[in-house]
Amino acid sequence: MSQPANKIKRIAIATGGGDAPGLNAVIRAATLAALNRGWEVYGIRDGFNGLLMPEQFVEGGLVPLTRDTVRGITHLGGTIIGTTNRGNPLRYPVKGLDGVVQEVDRTDELIRAFLLHGIDALISVGGDGSMEIANALAQKGLWVVGVPKTIDNDLDGTVITFGFDTARCFSTECLDRLHSTAASHRRVIVVEVMGRYAGWIALESGIAGSVDVILIPEIPYDLNKVAQKIKERDEMGRNFSVVLVAEGAKPLGGDVTVSSREVGRAERLGGVGEKVCAELQEMTGKETRLVVLGHLLRGGSPTSFDRLIALRFGAAAVRALSEGRRGVMVALNPPTVNYVPLEDATRRMKSVPLDCDVMLTARDLGICFGD
């Protein structure tokens, strides 16, 4: 499987995990850059399911990507080749004869499918799960380049992932809208945003949207501190408050709020906003309402920032292949795009450093973190 760069004839692109605005821009840039080198390009349907479960797809598990199929998609949310978070080949959910679902490693089978289809190299676009898969496939000899995606911005090795800016901007716009209604009704509004392991969306949109409280996974919270903040604002005549909670936030000494568990996929988070809302109403006696932004943060048209990053990442992934690089992830290292070993990118999550200047800014602005 170790092909010299000038021997590449056919590559595949896979998008895995939760979707993020900018996936289509990556697909377009990578496809055009590859076609311009005379390579053929295929999209694998729904992560790797197009190769592992081809019979599931009426039009086949591999979609030819041509100038026509990638025309006019840069501004579109979602991914034209589909994605899934139930198809991790390292831990694929398989139902046994006894009806029990177990996680099975199907990476060898996947490598054979690449060989069978004459695919010389893979561009794997995704978050931490996809980079872990890409790394495992690279270790087994497949020629892989990763492209970092996630609205949570929690991948290490790159200053930013595409999708994050769109989520941050949308969250900020929602917070602006919620401010005026919270103020008019003198209410507390609790807003829950995504952010499983890292609080980047909550932190940055919270500062930009001038909220009063931000609860993030990195700082276990004490709601007494939050209630105190709301009380102090009331005493100053600011009788409304906006409290922004990342889905992965947890109380001091407590754990994250899980909404469901299923074999073969990460546990689903959600519900912390509801708890915070009910408890704050009880503690402050103020009318408290909840808004969960959830998947709205993942949809819609990517911002121009995300489009540009995604296009740069897609083109850079193809340049990496044509330069003979393998086992690397494309990364933004301003002002340029560079490459980091997949192993480094998957070693740890990029959580919010508590002493970073964005955190210090929030503290200087008087934002409460429940600590």
- Interface pick for ligand F6P out of 123, 194, 207, 213 (rule CB under 6 A): 194
CA-CA distance, 356 to 184, in Å (whole number)? Answer: 34
Compute how many residues bind ligand F6P; rule: CB under 6 A: 13
User: Which residue matches tokens 């301003």?
Assistant: 334
Instruction: Pick the closer one to ligand F6P by CB: 105 or 262.
Output: 262
Instruction: Pick the closer one to ligand F6P by CB: 192 or 212.
Output: 192
Residue 295 CB partners (closer than 8 Å, separation 6+)? none
Does 152 engage in binding with ligand F6P (CB under 6 A)?
Answer: yes
Binding range to ligand F6P, per CB under 6 A, among 66-74, 144-152, 351-359, 360-368: 144-152
Side-chain-side CA neighbours of 137 within 13 Å: the count stands at 33
Does 150 engage in binding with ligand F6P (CB under 6 A)?
Answer: yes
What's the burial of 133, exposed, middle or buried (CB within 10 Å: 0-12/13-18/19+)? buried
Are 264 and 90 spatial neighbours (Cβ–Cβ below 8 Å)?
Answer: no
User: Which residue matches tokens 């377009």?
Assistant: 28
Kindly name the residue from 19, 128, 152, 165 that is annotated as catalytic: 152
Does 18 engage in binding with ligand F6P (CB under 6 A)?
Answer: yes
Q: Among this protein's residues, is 19 annotated catalytic?
A: no
CA-CA distance, 276 to 130, in Å (whole number)? Answer: 32
The nearest distance, CB 3 to ligand F6P, in angstroms, is 32
Cα distance from N-terminal residue to C-terminal residue, the chain? 52
Instruction: Pick the closer one to ligand F6P by CB: 83 or 107.
Output: 83
Binding range to ligand F6P, per CB under 6 A, among 174-182, 192-200, 236-244, 330-338: 192-200
Q: Are strands 258-260 and 268-269 parallel, antiparallel or unpaired?
A: antiparallel
The nearest distance, CB 19 to ligand F6P, in angstroms, is 8
Are 44 and 79 spatial neighbours (Cβ–Cβ below 8 Å)?
Answer: no
Does 320 engage in binding with ligand F6P (CB under 6 A)?
Answer: no
Residue 337's nearest CA partner among 168, 198, 200, 157 is 157
| Cα dihedral 253, 258, 262, 265 sign | negative
The nearest distance, CB 229 to ligand F6P, in angstroms, is 25
CA-CA distance, 306 to 7, in Å (whole number)? Answer: 32
Interface mask toward ligand F6P for 226-265; x: CB under 6 A: ---------------------x------------------
- Interface pick for ligand F6P out of 79, 85, 107, 130 (rule CB under 6 A): 85
CA-CA distance, 253 to 274, in Å (whole number)? Answer: 19
Residue 268 CB partners (closer than 8 Å, separation 6+)? 258, 259, 260, 261, 262
CA-CA distance, 307 to 49, in Å (whole number)? Answer: 26
- Interface pick for ligand F6P out of 151, 215, 277, 292 (rule CB under 6 A): 151
The nearest distance, CB 78 to ligand F6P, in angstroms, is 12
Binding range to ligand F6P, per CB under 6 A, among 90-98, 173-181, 188-196, 303-311: 188-196
Token pair for 94: 């398989």
Are 311 and 303 spatial neighbours (Cβ–Cβ below 8 Å)?
Answer: no
The nearest distance, CB 80 to ligand F6P, in angstroms, is 18
Interface mask toward ligand F6P for 34-73; x: CB under 6 A: ----------------------------------------
Residue 92's nearest CA partner among 47, 143, 140 is 47
Instruction: Pick the closer one to ligand F6P by CB: 120 or 128.
Output: 128
Instruction: Pick the closer one to ligand F6P by CB: 54 or 294.
Output: 294
Does 269 engage in binding with ligand F6P (CB under 6 A)?
Answer: yes
Catalytic residues: 152
Residues that bind ligand F6P (CB under 6 A): 18, 85, 127, 150-152, 194-196, 247, 268-269, 298
